Chains A and B, each alone.
Chain A
Amino acid sequence: MASAIEQPEIAAAAAAADPMLPALYSIQRVRQETDDTFTLELVPEDSHSSFGFRPGQFNMVYIFGVGEVPISISSDPGSLPMLKHTTREVGTVTRAMRQLKRGDVVGIRGPYGSCWPVAKAVERDVVIVAGGIGLAPLRPALYRLMAEREKFRKIVLLYGTRTPEDILYRQELEHWRGKFDLEIQVTVDRAASNWRGNVGVVTTLIPRAPFDPSNTFALVCGPEVMMRFTVMELEKRGVATERIYLSAERNMKCGIGFCGHCQLGAVFVCKDGPVFALNQIAAILGKSEI
């Protein structure tokens, strides 16, 4: 029997009759993660609209009367029908999203886009480099890796945030660190003197992180500048370009390859991404005119 990792997951909602019609999900819980970041735990109003997803995919989340935004799914692909979205408040829609309470209803279209290459990393080391809210799209990959821990060699999470107060999923990280064979290194850009951990940008963790670069898959997500510097460090350490994957962000409208809003050079982030192999987007990464 094929393992859970190898089974192709069903993306039922993507095949829905009208791809622009959102399914209704109600909020079961709102969890305040940090000062400006919160997680909505959602369940479908109608059990038929439940869908599976792959780590790294996103949904278009519709806040009625306000607007729709792409948000990665941050929950465990194994705990359906519940979906979690961890969101940072930055503007109009995400601000409205933060006002929502238990019992409120949102529209969900998805799951969309490409996924982290978890199955390809079997028998290899996996290094996950996350910056800020970039940990959210990587969390489902971590759940998958943990679910079949014995299939992978070293698993290393390098996570950078602005301050200790901005660390996401703190309790869960502690739990994982204690329970699984998982190396977690956290660093912050600045901290008061009572912080006993690392201070410095996340790229400074790469040279000494315990993984074998010749046999490593790297999954990277965070602000674009952080990803560019991370790629340089990973390559300097000897990780092959074709084994480095990134999640890109662009403004979106349709989420399904119709409107061209999310075009990045020759690719559409919504359809061909958001997860790309580095060699797919290396040439255009960081070019402001694109």
Chain B
Amino acid sequence: MIHTLEPIVEQHPFFLGMEERHIALIAGCAKNVRFESDQVIFHEGERADHFYLIRQGLVAVQCVIPNKGLTTVHTVGPDEVLGWSWLFAPHRFHFDGRAQQPTLALEFDGKCLRGKCDEDHDLGYEIYKRFTQIVTERLEATRMQLLDVYGKRD
């Protein structure tokens, strides 16, 4: 029996409100994956041909900082999206992604979806709109992190 991932993709908050035909195209690039705690999902510098929708668990976005070692700069939890480098050249991950807990996710083949976006610009527009929203939210959060609001005032 073939199990389609369409119902899962359709219900994920990230894709809420998308047209059925687009959901079918997106689900065609998806598969279910599971990561053990501490498992590295991707490494900094690797080709970014995937992104993930987290269904359960927690993934840390990490990098090595001189004198501090491996540092977590951000975590991605249930209903959130992990990875946008697949969408923007040069398609390389800028950080490591490591499961902090046993994690269930949908993995999307970025090459496959990029191809479909090139063919169907309506789909491309929807995808870009949603990822731009995520990028904007992360940028705002990063700005706030940089403000170091809990640090001592000068």
> What is the minimal beta-carbon distance from A29 to any residue of chain B, in angstroms?
25
> Which B residues lie within 8 Å of A223 (CB)?
149-150
Assuming A198-B58, A208-B77, is B150 touching A193 (CB within 8 A)?
A: no
Q: Is the CB of B150 within 8 A of A90?
A: no
Interface residues of B in 55-72 (CB under 8 A from A): 58, 60-62, 68-72
Q: Report Cα–Cα, A249/B150, bound state, in Å.
A: 14
Query: Which one of B82-90, B110-118, B120-128, B140-148 contacts A?
Result: B140-148
* Other contacts beyond A90-B152, A162-B151, A208-B80: 14, CB < 8 A: A131-B149, A131-B150, A189-B150, A190-B73, A192-B68, A192-B70, A192-B71, A193-B69, A193-B71, A195-B72, A196-B101, A198-B58, A199-B60, A223-B149
| Chain B interfacial residues counted at CB < 8 A | 31
Q: Are A203 and B72 neighbours in the complex by a CB distance under 8 Å?
A: no
The verdict on A132 contacting chain B, using a C-beta distance below 8 Å, is: yes
Residues of chain B contacted by A192 (CB below 8 angstroms): 68-72
Q: Is the CB of A189 within 8 A of B145?
A: yes
For the complex of A and B, list the 5 residue pairs with the smallest distance between their C-beta atoms, beginning with the closest: A132-B150, A193-B70, A223-B149, A162-B150, A199-B72
Of the candidates B73, B79, B101, the one whose C-beta lies within 8 Å of that of A208 is: B79
The one of A131, A133, A196, A208 in contact with B100, judged by C-beta atoms closer than 8 angstroms, is A196
Given contacts A162-B150, A193-B71, A223-B149, whether A201 and B141 have CB atoms under 8 Å apart is yes
Inter-chain contact A200/B98, CB cutoff 8 Å:
no
Are A199 and B77 closer than 8 Å at their CB atoms?
no
Q: Which residue of B lies closest to A185 (CB)?
A: B77
**A161, CB-defined interface residue at 8 Å:** yes
Quick one: closest A residue to B146, CB to CB? A189
Q: Give Cα A90 to B71, complex, Å.
A: 27
Are A199 and B75 CB-contacts (below 8 A) given A192-B68, A226-B144?
yes
| Among A133, A161, A225, residue most surrounded by chain B Cβ atoms (within 10 Å) | A225
Specify which chain A residues have a CB less than 8 angstroms from the CB of B3 in the assembled complex. none
CB atoms of A225 and B147 under 8 A apart: yes
The answer to whether A201 touches B69, judged by C-beta atoms less than 8 angstroms apart, is no
Q: Quick check: B60 and A225 within 8 Å, CB to CB?
A: no
Smallest Cβ distance from B18 to chain A, in angstroms?
19
A131 CA to B148 CA in the complex, in Å? 11
Report chain A residues within 8 Å CB of B68. 192
| A258 / chain B contacts, CB cutoff of 8 Å | none
Chain A minimum-CB-distance residue to B137: A204
B16 shortest CB reach to chain A, Å: 13
Residues of A within 8 Å of B69, CB to CB, are: 192-193
Interface pair A200/B150, CB less than 8 Å apart: no
Contacts A199-B72, A201-B141, A204-B141 given; indicate if A189 touches B148 (C-beta within 8 A): yes
**A173 on interface, CB distance cutoff 8 Å:** no
- A161 and B145 CA atoms in complex are apart in Å by 11
**Do A162 and B148 touch across chains, with their CB atoms under 8 A apart?**
yes
